[in-house]
Amino acid sequence: MDQIDKAAETDQPALVETLAQAFQTDPALSWILPDPAHRARALRSLFRTLVPADMRAGVALRANGDEAAALWRAPGQAHGGTLEFLRTVVPLIATFGTALPRGLKVQGGIDTHRPAGRFWYLHYVGVRTGHQGKGHGGRIIRAQTAVADAEALPCWLETATPENVPLYERLGFATQVEWDVPGGGPHFWGMMRPPAA
């Protein structure tokens, strides 16, 4: 069984690789970046920007063999502030290039449907290719939902992957809202997990 640890700054390259592999077939990122080869390169660039930003705003968890990684933003940190925007805007424009309008449509839908209030926000969670379907994702999510339970706080996530909805339901999340990204984009589920009694 994998041990789940809080990631350190030196773990960032491994987190980037785990998440880039995991999101290669993600419906939203596949719609934003339709060419698989371009997507593979862009995802590494994307997560090189997002991993440090999310670590500053919360916590990154990793399985000890790097089979899985999760980026959680702390309560009150789901929406990045001005400083984070300034740190990330130029790298993200470079990452998405001409796909930026589709990326902004996806992000706009996420921002519009995310609830107000205090909650732990599961921004990204993924399992490396070859390790999926073995329970790694559930274990790394439960490591932080236990923290949220101890703090009597809910957890929130979005997913565009239909197969993930039942997994999240087994972990205590329930769908609160669904939406479609305009212009033929993917369908999303927004899911909340109340703190366990």
Other CB atoms within 10 A of residue 162 CB: 11
pLDDT of residue 82: 54
CA atoms of 193 and 176, how far apart (whole Å)? 10
pLDDT of residue 1: 52
Cβ pair 140, 69 in contact under 8 A: yes
DSSP three-state, residue 56 = helix
Name, in order, each residue with C-beta under 8 angstroms of 28's C-beta and a sequence gap of 6 or more. 106, 160, 181, 185, 186, 188
Burial of 114 (0-12, 13-18, 19+ CB in 10 A): middle
The pLDDT > 90 percentage for the chain reads 72
- End-to-end C-alpha distance for the chain, whole angstroms: 26
pLDDT of residue 100: 86
CA atoms of 191 and 175, how far apart (whole Å)? 4
Q: What is the pLDDT of residues 77-136, one digit of tens each?
A: 988 765 555 566 666 777 888 888 888 899 889 999 999 999 999 999 998 876 666 667
CA atoms of 183 and 113, how far apart (whole Å)? 17
Q: Which domain holds residue 92?
A: 4-193
Q: What is the pLDDT of residues 149-180, one digit of tens each?
A: 999 999 999 999 999 999 999 999 999 999 99
Name, in order, each residue with C-beta under 8 angstroms of 64's C-beta and a sequence gap of 6 or more. 2, 3, 4, 5
- Count how many domains the chain has: 1
pLDDT of residue 86: 55
Question: What value does the mean pLDDT of the chain take?
Answer: 90
Task: Select from 109, 120, 121, 137 the least CA-distant residue to 21.
Answer: 137
pLDDT of residue 87: 63
CA atoms of 79 and 76, how far apart (whole Å)? 8
CA distances for 102 relative to 7, 12, 39, 68, angstroms: 31, 27, 13, 27
CATH number at residue 136: 3.40.630.30
